Structure 1
């Protein structure tokens, strides 16, 4: 009957909690003393109170008499149900002092704090990857099994976990919840945004063992390695040209369409790709970032420097089918072919003489202008053409070619 009176005259000297009966206070003191007389015969866990042990054994027995009225989820103990209801109510009493994130349960906050502390106690026995939460490790282990039971209804791609499929579906739906605060670009996945932020930060942790070039993303390094291996699995159906990456083949295919939507505002020249126009603009700007280490000559485009280096190396891969003369550049071979077919598109405005090459016309025009830039070091005589000077020098040397 004392319980019904509500009178609690027996107080704990340690925490101040009050009790109706002496026996209740005595059992409570066992908690402070760490005394646990009641042990579970299933798992060996010990408890201070007999009633708590009884609730615990209900867990092993699978007894769940307390159900949620909202979602129907059942619990062994009333206290667990009450905490669960806080989820539906949106109540979050436990807040992280580091980032301010709030949680419904104290245990969730504790696990969250391990993230800030860098604590990862759950490791994968296969690959050694560590996780903060046991549940995350469990999900990770599915990857090693190779089982992918969750398929995308749109593209058929399979995934090991439901969460991965769900994130994948956002791609098809065009949902992009994660936005970069620097440039405003939006992404479907948090991980992709993180990789993108590394670009702004200039972080490049993935380096090529062959040439040392560094990349922000591991996938980009993997594609780069194909360049060194010489593997080109993406072929053009039109001209047969092969590429390392599919994206390069896609850009190349635009060339065959003949569409040139990118125009130069200065000279009007049109280009198939934006990158080509950008490189072209360097010519007008006089920007020459690519310098030859042999002669010091600078070029606007890397490709032009490469062709120039072939001259120093004596590489001539373009050969005339008529006379066998070889050239470093393809365009030089094309100009040379005009000689064989008799094409003379460059005409002198003074005398009407026609020439195959523009440079031949320029040399000819110097004759009309009286320009003589080629001087004999022996007698001082000047000539309009270099070949005429050479013949003259042979005379001084006593060489008779005719």
Structure 2
């Protein structure tokens, strides 16, 4: 059955496509809101694993994923993002280091080339500075050259060459010292870069993610998780008036056994099995702190203790978003108004009057879920729409009811699974009987007003309404007689109409009621007639028939008790 919330539809129960378990599920290709972020699980599979899931456009029940697999998918996606961020940081650091190395090498190469050019100029220098002109163009062979002047010129050029060589040597030494300093600076910068890269490798490569702002629902669910993990409260679910374990879905009729079974589970798993926006039910018969031997019987005192003594965080600006109960085997009481109820289903329905947020505009009825309100509002609407079965022509009020009818009646599809052995059954009642006969479940319900014991709550409820509460809603218009069931009223109407529609197939005798025909049919069977009349030797199979015989045939005699 699906439930629509503000954060997406939920299906309970549903078959998970990822683990094959039957749990509360979500749709794979539907957008959900989690911790302030939007997520589509089929897209997350594609981004994280490159896995394209099939049949995502089929029926909703064929594309489901449970809460446990969703949490594992989120962990995988978070780990992938962590690796990508780490790789990006590493590559950026390497690129920056290579760029600085390239800049330093280019500077060194340019300066080396300049040094080589200067060295070659010193070797080819003649001591004469010709400027930009070629000396061969200024030379004139007609002009006589005096030998004395040429000697002086040679001497001057020699001195000039020596002077220039000395100057160049000083400049080269200065340039070498400058290059040495630049090399030292370059090595120092490389050392710093290597230290920085090493620190990036050693430190945690993933920064703490920025925590999104939590809304009230997320804060309330966080508080519930802290309470369940650190106390002995018992989270549970219900199947009508049976109690269901919140972790493994096992059913219990005795709340004491439910609490004992709950201790076998790890409470830290509660966050995985509890769906957001799901109505959480918690039994607070025992609270007590798990972290210390303190015994606490009040929830407010426990929250104060867990924050002050153990440093746990709780959001104080939100109220508890779960229903509190003190489960007992017999009478159940509302913790808000102290009203008493015989069945948990009735108590839970009553709790909607205190905490239900979905209210009918016509009659003011309260409900926890919007879908239940929508079903209720159909009572105020005159809807003539029917959904007939093509096989037998029977009309139904909804497509869902018609589908169940076709599956059970015509297709003989077993849809009720035993949670212990996995066997499927055609109806809830057959599975119920299977749990008692095969698995030995103790399902005995004692009436508080008499000694009668029943094997189902339904039978006990009808017993209380009929015998103790005297709830007879169906009244005869002719004699004002009341009946518990409409079928009994229909049988009673034969008294006024004279109809005798129930006829014996052996002797043709007719009766106005089915019960009369059933009693008569025993006379045709080989059953010992142990109830005998001591006056006329008539024998009967049932004591009630002997009583009727005495009233009709021997009414003038004083007979107090029938004879056997």
Greater C-alpha Rg = 2
Shorter-chain TM-score: what band? Answer: 0.3 to 0.5
Higher relative contact order (CA 8 A, sep 6+): 2
TM-score normalized with structure 2 length: 0.30
